[in-house]
Amino acid sequence: MRGSCRPRNTRDRAVCTTNCPTLIVTVGLPARGKTYISKKLTRYLNWIGVPTKEFNVGQYRRECVKIYKSFEFFRPDNEEGLKIRRQCALAALNDVRQYLSVEGGQVAVFDATNTTRERRATIIKFAEQNGFKVFFVESVCEDPDVIAENIVQVKLGSPDYIHCNTEDAVEDFMKRIKCYETSYQPLDEVLDRDLSYIKIMDVGRRYLVNRVVDHIQSRIVYYLMNIHITPRSIYLCRHGESDLNTKGRIGGDAALSARGKEFAKHLRKFIQDQNIKDLKVWTSQMKRTIQTAEALGAPYEQWKSLNEIDAGVCEEMMYEEIQEHFPLEFALRDQDKYRYRYPKGESYEDLVQRLEPVIMELERQENVLVICHQAVMRCLLAYFLDKTADELPYLKCPLHTVLKLTPVAYGDTQSALQKLYARSASHVNGNRVSMKTWIECHK
């Protein structure tokens, strides 16, 4: 639980305790990936259990000004435009206050350009009045190719340009950037030496970190220094069917069944057909994932962190046996599947913490095939597909199925399903799920 922020005797300032909420503020010109960073940070922090919400000022502006006309709205000498943008920023900050002070949020991400020292001073004053810590994330990019890609991938799909042809949209957006360049005041090592911030230069080629003051800020910095936008694909699948799967028993360290071995052969052919450059293969340290990987005829790396959730005293039991011998535990698990911990075992919440290093390394890598287990795959999917803790334990991860995830540099992760071996065991937690149903569960 975070601490409360009690007002001082003065009217314009609140005490910021050690565990008070954090306001993350993006800084940078348009088309520098600020919204991409905001979305990824929000997704990551929610996944590790830190209640976080993104506040995109552009959305507030679009709600206020229904029809976008041209870059003229963003000219520094457009008094009406300046007034509307200021009102939108204040409206977003009011919602930030509501979320952090009333609704129980712990981190708010204020996604806007915030390119002037005056605007940042307003935000700092707002945070001081409400007892929030402030951490700035500035994205600086001079690479024209990266900027152009961002414009094409995201900005041209924006509601601002829905009725525009590509050439006109690009021209208008470039002029919009010019409007901001005239007043842009980057974070300065001397003038802003007392602020907490990370400056990301040219999509992670270089970083400048200043005055990190707490655990949340250090985790934010660590995360941002691990992500990249290199095109790649992540393939996730469960091990082939095991002998315990055929008996409907959970956990254990069983070998593959005949069907499981058949799946491993199909997996090998699938991977070969994909012709994936420099593919890395990761498995858990359990027999069934190792045997599945060995059939590929390629090097693989074992991760203890990828081992299946520990069912404790319920290992190798059938669910009917758990209900008979541990009726209270069975009922408790149904009430809160994410936080329920098996006696002498783990919960999904524990598993997420165990898998955080895997996520960090996946963010650093390019093409990877992860051969894992049902609970582990659910946790990984929840991260990449931005699923809540309540949704996570119920994500469908059928046997003998490969999911291809393609993180998009400036958008949401794209997913594609490939069912490799249809004769899946019927015993294992409803693995006979139609492709249509599976995809609908992951939208």
In sequence order, the β-bridge partners of residue 198 are 137, 209
Q: Is 19 annotated as a binding residue?
A: no
Was 242 annotated as part of a binding site? yes
Instruction: For residue 241, say whether it is annotated as part of any ligand binding site.
Output: yes
| Catalytic residue list contains 103 | no
Catalytic residue among 54, 138, 262, 308: 308
Distance CA 271, CA 358 (A): 22
Task: Give yes or no for a contact between 32 and 140, defined as CB atoms under 8 angstroms apart.
Answer: yes
Quote the CA–CA distance of 188 and 199 in Å, as a whole number.
10
The answer to whether 49 touches 137, Cβ cutoff 8 Å, is no
Question: b/e map of 91-116 (b: 16 or more CB within 10 Å)?
Answer: bbbebbbebbbeeebbbbbbbbbbbe
Quote the CA–CA distance of 3 and 144 in Å, as a whole number: 44
Contact 402, 270 (CB under 8 A): yes
User: What CA–CA distances, in Å, run from 419 to 379, 399, 422?
Assistant: 20, 9, 7
How far is residue 250's CA from residue 429's CA, in Å, rounded to a whole number? 10
Distance separating alpha carbons of residues 267 and 421, to the nearest angstrom? 9
Q: Which two tokens stand for residue 273?
A: 């057909």
284 is an annotated ligand-binding site residue: no
Residue 243 marked in a binding site? yes
Parallel, antiparallel, or unpaired for β 197-201 and 206-210?
Answer: antiparallel
Any known ligand binding at 72? Answer: no
> Hey, what amino acid is at 429?
N
Residue 325 is a catalytic residue: no
- Tell me the two tokens of residue 435: 């492709």
Cα dihedral 114, 117, 122, 124, rounded to 10, equals 90
Rg over CA atoms, the chain:
25
Q: Is 244 a known ligand-binding residue?
A: yes
Residue type, 119: R
54, 138, 239, 262: which one is catalytic? 239
Active site residues: 239, 308
Sequence ranges of the binding site: 238-245, 288
Residues annotated in the binding site for substrate, as ranges? Answer: 238-245, 288
